[in-house]
């Protein structure tokens, strides 16, 4: 391998968040959540927020991707390997619930970090059993065997994680959601802008149909506008 210039293997820190993301198969979901906060709130960088994970959702989505009926039987069978790793049943892998708790607990002492939204925490708590039942149904539909022991271990771990969320995280959860508020404001501003642009078009071009006012010069609407404008003796107005 060295002759092919492969990078040297790294020693994994099983309590590092990047490792949680990489081996669960849900890094896109985690990055998407952080990105939503960055776009819509002033709180929104990852470094300013308390690490929080809906582990039941992460596990369910990671297994669902492998157990999709459109996958080959060999790919579906890999879900058993992934489940064993989620539950810490494979050598070298710690249970994902313990990884998530360790990551959160390491930052709990920092009072400046923004806590997760209360509805978000309640969803993680209330949906725990639903995710566990859904995982069992996925394996049953795929007609796989040998997953039951790891599922039992995962069930105990997720129920323990649920109790931990109720005792440690829920009392600290924030009661307001700046994401929803800011999103509503953005929608309102967008609608207001559309209304004002429509009024301005009507003022500048009274009696001329909307085809004379395309949204962009390079669009198909723009081409029809230019033709119509030349026939009417009017020059299209781009706002």
Q: Is 117 helix (H, G, I), strand (E, B) or coil?
A: strand
The two three-digit tokens of residue 28, written as one number: 């896109």
Q: What local confidence, expressed as pLDDT, does residue 177 receive?
A: 77
> pLDDT-based confidence at 182, cuts 50/70/90?
low
CB atoms within 10 A of CB 191: 10
Q: What local confidence, expressed as pLDDT, does residue 28 receive?
A: 45
DSSP-assigned letter for residue 168: I
- Residue closest to 135 by CA, chosen among 117, 148, 118: 148
For residues 219-232, give the mean pLDDT. Answer: 43
For residues 223-230, give the mean pLDDT. Answer: 43
**pTM of the full structure:** 0.61
Q: How far apart are CA 162 and CA 167, in angstroms?
A: 9
For residues 48-61, give the mean pLDDT. Answer: 94
> Which of 87-101, 106-120, 168-182 is least confident?
168-182
> Model confidence over 184-213: pLDDT tens digits?
555 555 555 555 566 565 666 655 544 444
The mean pLDDT of the chain is 74
- Residue closest to 132 by CA, chosen among 105, 112, 104, 152: 152
- Residue closest to 83 by CA, chosen among 146, 11, 20: 146
Question: Looking at per-residue confidence, does 206 or 61 come out higher?
Answer: 61
């Amino acid at each position: 391998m060295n002759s092919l210039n492969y990078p040297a293997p790294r020693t994994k820190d099983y309590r590092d968040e990047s490792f949680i993301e990489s081996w669960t198969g849900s890094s896109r979901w985690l990055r998407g959540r952080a990105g939503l906060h960055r776009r819509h709130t002033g709180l929104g960088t990852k470094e300013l927020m308390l690490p929080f994970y809906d582990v039941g959702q992460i596990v369910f989505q990671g297994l669902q991707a492998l157990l999709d009926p459109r996958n080959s039987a060999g790919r579906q069978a890999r879900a058993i390997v992934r489940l064993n790793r989620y539950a810490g049943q494979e050598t070298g892998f710690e249970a994902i619930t313990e990884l998530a708790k360790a990551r959160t607990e390491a930052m709990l002492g920092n009072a400046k970090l923004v806590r997760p939204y209360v509805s978000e925490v309640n969803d993680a708590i209330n949906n725990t059993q639903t995710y566990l039942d859904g995982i069992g149904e996925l394996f049953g539909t795929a007609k796989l065997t040998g997953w039951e022991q790891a599922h039992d271990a995962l069930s105990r771990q997720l129920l323990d994680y649920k109790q931990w969320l109720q005792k440690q995280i829920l009392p600290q959860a924030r009661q307001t959601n700046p994401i929803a508020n800011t999103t509503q404001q953005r929608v309102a501003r967008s609608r207001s802008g559309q209304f004002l642009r429509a009024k301005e078009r009507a003022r500048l071009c009274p009696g001329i149909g909307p085809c004379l006012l395309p949204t962009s010069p390079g669009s198909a609407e723009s081409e029809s506008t230019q033709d119509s404008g030349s026939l009417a003796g009017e020059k299209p107005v781009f706002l």
